[in-house]
Amino acid sequence: MQRLQFALLASLLLLVLLLPGIRSTPIDQDVDIVHYQPEQVHLSFGERTDSEIVVTWSTRSLPPDQEVGAVSVVEYGQLVDGQVRLTQQARGKATKFVDGGHKQATQFIHRVTLRDLEPNATYSYHCGSDFGWSAIFQFRTVPSASVDWSPSLAIYGDMGNENAQSLARLQQETQRGMYDAIIHVGDFAYDMNTKNARVGDEFMRQIETVAAYLPYMVVPGNHEEKFNFSNYRARFSMPGGTENMFYSFDLGPVHFVGISTEVYYFLNYGLKPLVFQFEWLREDLAKANLPENRNKRPWIILYGHRPMYCSNENDNDCTHSETLTRVGWPFVHMFGLEPLLYEFGVDVAIWAHEHSYERLWPIYDYKVRNGTLKDSPYNDPSAPVHIVTGSAGCKEGREPFKGKIPEWSAFHSQDYGYTRLKAHNRTHIHFEQVSDDKNGAIIDDFWLVKSKHGSYRN
Instruction: Please tell me the predicted confidence (pLDDT) of residue 63.
Output: 85
C-alpha–C-alpha distance, residues 165 and 260, integer Å = 25
Instruction: Please tell me the predicted confidence (pLDDT) of residue 33.
Output: 63
- CB atoms < 10 A from the CB of 88, how many? 15
User: DSSP readout, 96-123?
Assistant: EEE-SSTT--EEEEEEEEE-SPPTT-EE
Tens digit of each residue's pLDDT (9 = 90 or more) over 290-322: 999 999 999 999 999 999 999 988 766 777 788
For residue 184, list its beta bridge partners: 156, 218
Strand positions, DSSP E, 220-281: 247-251, 254-258
Residue 153 to residues 113, 166, 170, Cα–Cα distance (Å): 22, 15, 11
Q: Which residues lie closer than 8 Å to 37 by C-beta, 6 or more apart?
A: 59, 60, 128, 132, 134
Tens digit of each residue's pLDDT (9 = 90 or more) over 332-391: 789 999 999 999 999 999 999 999 999 999 999 999 998 766 678 999 999 999 999 999
pLDDT over 70 percentage in the chain:
92
Tens digit of each residue's pLDDT (9 = 90 or more) over 44-59: 999 999 999 999 999 9
C-alpha–C-alpha distance, residues 278 and 333, integer Å = 13
Q: For the chain, what is the total number of helices (H) and then of strands (E)?
A: 8, 24
Closest to 359 in 3D by CA, of 324, 351, 367, 425: 351
Residue 339 burial by Cβ neighbours in a 10 Å radius (0-12, 13-18, 19+): middle
- Predicted TM-score of the model (pTM): 0.91
C-alpha–C-alpha distance, residues 54 and 48, integer Å = 10
Domains of the chain plus CATH, in order, are 32-144 (2.60.40.380), 148-449 (3.60.21.10)
Query: With contact defined as beta carbons under 8 Å apart, do 232 and 198 qualify?
Result: no
Helix axis angle, 226-235 to 198-211, nearest 10°: 30
Position 285 pLDDT exceeds 50? yes
Q: What is the mean pLDDT of residues 2-25?
A: 43
Distance of CA 160 to the CA centre of its chain: 13
C-alpha–C-alpha distance, residues 336 and 338, integer Å = 6
pLDDT bucket at 4, cuts 50 / 70 / 90: very low
Start-to-end C-alpha separation, the chain:
99
Instruction: Please tell me the predicted confidence (pLDDT) of residue 395.
Output: 87
Position 410 pLDDT exceeds 70? yes
Q: What is the mean pLDDT of residues 322-332?
A: 87
Tell me how long the chain is: 458
- 152-161, 324-333, 374-383: which has the highest mean pLDDT? 152-161
Query: With contact defined as beta carbons under 8 Å apart, do 364 and 375 qualify?
Result: no
Instruction: Please tell me the predicted confidence (pLDDT) of residue 65.
Output: 76
The three-state secondary structure class of 309 is coil
Instruction: Please tell me the predicted confidence (pLDDT) of residue 116.
Output: 97
What's the mean pLDDT when you consider all of the chain?
Answer: 91
Tens digit of each residue's pLDDT (9 = 90 or more) over 68-118: 778 999 999 999 888 899 999 999 999 999 999 999 999 999 999 999 999
Instruction: Please tell me the predicted confidence (pLDDT) of residue 14.
Output: 44
Tens digit of each residue's pLDDT (9 = 90 or more) over 227-265: 999 999 999 999 999 999 999 999 999 999 999 999 999
